[in-house]
Chains A and B, each alone.
Chain A
Amino acid sequence: MQGSAFDEGEFFLAIDRCGARVVMIGRRALIALGVPVLTADYDFWLHRDDIEVFNRAAEPFDLFPNRNPEEARASGRYVLENDEHVDVLVARQRSTVHGETVQFEDVWNRRLTMRCGAADVSVPTIDDLIRTKLFAARPKDLEDIQLLESLRREEP
């Protein structure tokens, strides 16, 4: 994939300004926190009532949803895509592979805010990010958990 004209800073600013309750999860959140990993896409966990406003913010970046909001609410996730690929989780809650229920509302209330250029970007706490890694529980998620645990030791 070649780098496109997509401006990440402007994208974050549009998300920040739209007022949607959304946290960046996945490897992009690890990177923002300070873990050098590779990733192709963006992952967000969005409040299910904020799908429309989030989609409007993404539209100027030629990112279009693969499902309408009602379908997205029913399935719990959707994708915004074009040159970039943005996975959007909109479930109220998800279960880890161990059966622990993780509520969006709790992750949102505990979120960290990071300054990215002119935008504030919300990410989960390290503990919550580890929990989200246990939703899909792929081999690379375990590697990410180990990196997050190393990151935690770097925190004051």
Chain B
Amino acid sequence: MTHAKRFVPPSTTQLATIAALAERQLTAAEVEQGLRDRLTDDQIEENRELIRWFRRRYPTASQRLAYARRAYARWSKSFPR
């Protein structure tokens, strides 16, 4: 019988590295390339389906914003202090 690996949250150093990469400003050329690399029709449809679900499940802006606060609180609980 195999056991699923236990999730190990990233260290603060790993988080800092990821944050630095995520916060990096792209050059104009990189942005151009990124915007040229359009999503496939399937990816666009997935995005649209996600948006439709979100708007259906949370029809008002305040419901959506409240959901986002709850989701962020849940997500951040799994990270090291």
Contact call B68/A31, Cβ cutoff below 8 A? yes
Query: Does A53 lie at the interface of the complex (its beta carbon under 8 Å from any beta carbon of B)?
Result: no
Q: List the B side residues contacting A18 at CB < 8 Å.
A: none
Chain B 9-42 interface mask (CB, 8 Å, partner A; 1/0): 0000000000001111111100110110001000
Given A8-B65, A97-B27, also A153-B48 (CB < 8 A): yes
A33 to B55, CA, bound (A): 9
Given A3-B70, A115-B61, A140-B22, also A147-B47 (CB < 8 A): yes
Query: Does A121 lie at the interface of the complex (its beta carbon under 8 Å from any beta carbon of B)?
Result: yes
- Interface footprint category on B: 35 or more
A8 to B35, CA, bound (A): 34
Q: Which of A8, A32, A145 contacts B69 (CB 8 A)?
A: A8
A112 to B63, CA, bound (A): 18
Q: Which of B25, B31, B61, B69 contacts A121 (CB 8 A)?
A: B61
For chain B residues 54-69, which have a beta carbon within 8 Å of chain A? 54-55, 60-62, 64-69
Contact call A114/B61, Cβ cutoff below 8 A? yes
Given A117-B62, A139-B21, A139-B24, also A151-B72 (CB < 8 A): no
Chain A residue with the shortest CB-CB distance to B75: A38
Contact call B65/A32, Cβ cutoff below 8 A? yes
Q: List the B side residues contacting A39 at CB < 8 Å.
A: 68, 72
Q: Which of A28, A115, A137, A154 contacts B51 (CB 8 A)?
A: A154
Contact call B66/A137, Cβ cutoff below 8 A? no
Q: How far is the CB of A119 from chain B (nearest CB, A)?
A: 8
Q: How far is the CB of B6 from chain A (nearest CB, A)?
A: 23
Chain A residue with the shortest CB-CB distance to B32: A98
* 20 extra interface residue pairs, beta carbon distance < 8 Å, beyond A1-B73, A146-B39, A154-B48: A1-B72, A3-B69, A31-B64, A32-B61, A35-B54, A36-B54, A38-B72, A39-B68, A97-B27, A97-B28, A115-B61, A115-B62, A116-B61, A137-B31, A138-B25, A139-B34, A142-B35, A145-B35, A150-B44, A153-B44
